[in-house]
């Protein structure tokens, strides 16, 4: 059971990174919005309007910063998925060319010749 868990843990890391980035966005947004509201209430005791302005600006900026950090992690996960897709496609093409007995270069040049004829 443990062996299968460890083997599955590293399959499709791109999907897991993307899911982690979504969760991270909500956690970061929640904590930063909460901390901005707490800080703004302290300022609001001295100057109410200034505390409100700081709260609004802080919430907007914290959500933007959370989004930017999460989107970079999400993009990395997307890159991982795309690399895995490309790798699988190249493996399948390599298997197809080995089964047909032709090299990939010959197949490429043949397909280019066919396209030029059309």
| Residue 50 CB contacts under 8 Å (≥ 6 apart), including other chains | 43, 44
Using pLDDT thresholds of 50, 70 and 90, give the confidence band for residue 112: low
Q: Is a pLDDT exceeding 60 seen at residue 31?
A: yes
Confidence at 38, pLDDT banded by 50, 70, 90: confident
Examine the pLDDT at 76 and tell me if it is beyond 80.
yes
Burial class (CB in 10 A: 0-12, 13-18, 19+), 43: middle
Alpha-helix residue ranges (DSSP H) falling in the chain? 2-9, 13-46, 48-100, 104-117
**What is the pLDDT at residue 63?**
87
Query: With contact defined as beta carbons under 8 Å apart, do 63 and 108 qualify?
Result: no
This model's pTM is above 0.75: no
The pair of three-digit structure tokens given for residue 5, joined into one six-digit string: 């868990």
What pLDDT does 33 receive?
82
Asked whether the predicted pLDDT for residue 104 surpasses 60, the reply is: no
Q: What are phi and psi of 12, to 5 degrees?
A: 50, 65
């Amino acid at each position: 059971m443990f062996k299968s868990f460890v083997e599955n843990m590293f399959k499709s890391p791109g999907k897991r990174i993307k899911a982690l980035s979504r969760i991270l966005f909500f956690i970061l947004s929640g904590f930063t919005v909460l901390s901005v509201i707490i800080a703004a209430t302290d300022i609001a005791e001295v100057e109410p309007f200034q505390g409100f302005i700081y709260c609004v600006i802080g919430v907007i900026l914290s959500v933007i910063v959370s989004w930017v950090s999460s989107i970079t992690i999400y993009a990395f996960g997307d890159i991982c998925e795309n690399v895995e897709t490309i790798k699988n496609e190249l493996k399948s093409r390599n298997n197809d060319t080995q089964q047909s007995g032709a090299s990939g270069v010959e197949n490429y040049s043949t397909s280019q010749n066919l396209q030029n004829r059309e």
